[in-house]
Amino acid sequence: MAVPGRNPCHRPGVRPQGLHPAEAVLARAALARWPTLAEELEAELQYRKCGHLLLAENEVEAEHLQSFVQRQHELGFADVAFLDRKEVFRLVPGLGEQVTAGSFSPASGQADPRLTTRAFATAAQRQGASYWTSTACLALQRVADRVVGAQTGRGLVQAEQIVLAAGAWLFHER
Ligand SMILES: Cc1cc2nc3c(=O)[nH]c(=O)nc-3n(C[C@H](O)[C@H](O)[C@H](O)COP(=O)(O)OP(=O)(O)OC[C@H]3O[C@@H](n4cnc5c(N)ncnc54)[C@H](O)[C@@H]3O)c2cc1C
């Protein structure tokens, strides 16, 4: 959750807490880049470094949070801290009585994903990239063991390097 008083808006999280370990390297790099990303992309992203808080509502969940925080440290997210009940209520006074503990990442925050996506696209275009929307990739073109092109709704696009970024759902659906 975002911490009330620090950020009045509700936006998707820029947060490493609870990611899959395989995402840790990318998440650490992203977290370090976010504070200067608007400047780099020359755009407003509505990024706020307002923290991210996970809550426990009983002693069992509090114990899980304690080992969770330990795992976060092992993944390189040193800012994540375990907070006891008193510390959680000091941070967010209006919480329900059932809250027993929390884990807080002050390095986390929020941003507007639509503004951010457009900002990356516009920055890429400034560097000479073509940006096509509503264009399906229909097939990949392969020569021996290399992918050298993509057949799209607008024709064949060939390139030295092709990045397949069609989302995890692609593999679930097949
Ligand atoms: C409910 C929900 C809430 C989330 N909240 C957060 C959050 O707060 N913070 C956070 O960091 N992450 C959040 N996530 C996770 C985040 O949305 C994903 O990690 C992220 O979108 C993955 O990005 P991606 O570019 O890999 O894939 P995607 O965002 O899935 O993008 C893949 C794109 O490829 C397109 N595509 C697929 N096949 C083709 C094809 N053949 N031709 C052309 N295009 C194709 C798809 O249409 C899609 O636009 C949330 C996810 C969900 C579901």
pLDDT of residue 45: 97
Distance from Cα 165 to the centre of ligand 1, integer Å: 9
The protein residue whose alpha carbon is closest to atom 10 in ligand 1 is 13
- C-beta contacts of 163-171 below 8 A and 24+ residues apart: 164/140, 166/137
Regarding the beta carbon of 13 and ligand 1, being less than 6 Å apart is answered yes
Q: What is the reported pLDDT for 170?
A: 67
Chain-centre distance of CA 139, in angstroms? 28
pLDDT for the residue 169: 74
Residue 2 is classified by DSSP as -
Residue nearest to atom 39 of ligand 1 (CA): 166
Please count the other Cβ atoms lying within 10 Å of the Cβ belonging to residue 37.
18
pLDDT at position 173: 55
Kindly report the pTM of this predicted structure: 0.84
- For 134-145, the pLDDT digits (tens) are 999 999 999 999
| Segments of the chain scoring below 50 in pLDDT | 1-9
Q: Is any ligand 1 atom within 6 A of the Cβ of residue 163? A: no
pLDDT the model gives residue 78: 94
Q: DSSP string spanning 69-134?
A: HHHHHHTT-TT-EEEEHHHHHHH-TT--TT--EEEEETT-EE--HHHHHHHHHHHHHHTT----SS
Residue with CA nearest ligand 1 atom 3: 12
Does ligand 1 come within 6 angstroms of the Cβ of 170? yes
| Ligand 1 neighbour 113 (Cβ under 6 A) | no
Cβ(144) to ligand 1 under 6 A? no
Question: From the alpha carbon of 166, which atom of ligand 1 is closest?
Answer: 34
Q: What is the pLDDT of residue 8?
A: 47
Task: Check pocket membership of 165 for ligand 1, CB cut-off 6 A.
Answer: yes
Q: What is the pLDDT of residue 168?
A: 77
